[in-house]
A = this chain, B = another copy of it.
Amino acid sequence: MTEAPSTLDFWYDFASTYSYPAVERIGAAAQEAGVAVHWRPFLLGPIFARQGWTDTPFKLYPVKGRYMWRDLQRLCDSLGLPWRRPSRFPQNGLLAARIVLAGAGAAWCIPFTRQVYQANFVHDRDIADPETLAQILRALGQNADAILEQAQHPDVKVRLRTETEEAERSGIFGAPSFTIGAELFWGHDRMAQAIEWAARGARKLTCDSAA
């Protein structure tokens, strides 16, 4: 028996509405399938800009935006997830993304990510406000001042740019997205299929190694 190397890259943007249910559900779903998740915040803004969009398509195409809010409400209802339409949209998730990258995989990064999404899509808070993010870090027992300072370090800024460039090179054009090697899945609606794909790849590798 070989240890199965099944990892899924999970790409999310803190402004992205459909990333909220993904962030809330991916941990348990991936664990059940025996798939490890690499959480990778990035920025959709620069990718949208290169497609000629100066804003989220949900604002550029209001009919699509109206639908999205209703769809997300129904989706969260059906999943039993709390949900309130935020008064600000889209919010600026730059600082939150930098904080996660500054955390470099520390144990608080995932609960921090989930709580920032909850702040935005459940509690209608301003997630661009450093104080909102500092409160979340403090509640997680972290030194908020030190982390906020690290988050502004030039290395972290460069890191977020290179992560975003890698997302774009991977063919990513929306969030959430999931990649397993060169295989891309887009949207919360494809999360289960992406996890299954990762798990199946792992099983296949295990069988190949055993043969």
A interface with B by C-beta (< 8 Å): 51, 61, 63-64, 66-67, 70-71, 74, 78, 171, 173, 184-187, 189-190, 193
A193 to B74, CA, bound (A): 9
- The answer to whether A63 and B173 touch across the interface, beta carbons within 8 angstroms, is yes
Taking a contact as CB atoms closer than 8 A, the residue among B74, B78, B173, B189 that contacts A189 in the complex is B189
- The answer to whether B74 and A173 touch across the interface, beta carbons within 8 angstroms, is no
- The answer to whether A67 and B184 touch across the interface, beta carbons within 8 angstroms, is yes
Chain B residues near A51: list those with CB within 8 A: 61, 63
Q: Which residue of B lies closest to A66 (CB)?
A: B171
Chain B residues near A193: list those with CB within 8 A: 74, 78
A70 to B149, CA, bound (A): 42
A185 to B51, CA, bound (A): 26
A63 to B74, CA, bound (A): 29
A70 to B170, CA, bound (A): 14
Given the known A-B contacts A78-B193, A189-B189, are A173 and B71 also in contact in the complex, defined by CB atoms under 8 Å? Answer: no
A66 to B70, CA, bound (A): 28
Distance between A21 CB and nearest chain B CB, rounded to angstroms: 13
Chain B residues near A184: list those with CB within 8 A: 67, 70
Chain B residues near A171: list those with CB within 8 A: 63, 66-67
- The answer to whether B190 and A64 touch across the interface, beta carbons within 8 angstroms, is no
- The answer to whether B173 and A67 touch across the interface, beta carbons within 8 angstroms, is yes
Q: Which residue of B lies closest to A68 (CB)?
A: B186
Chain B residues near A187: list those with CB within 8 A: 189
Residue from A61, A66, A67, A184 whose CB has the most chain B CB atoms within 10 Å: A67
Given the known A-B contacts A51-B61, A61-B51, are A67 and B186 also in contact in the complex, defined by CB atoms under 8 Å? Answer: yes
Chain B residues near A173: list those with CB within 8 A: 61, 63-64, 67
Chain B residues near A189: list those with CB within 8 A: 187, 189
Chain B residues near A185: list those with CB within 8 A: 71
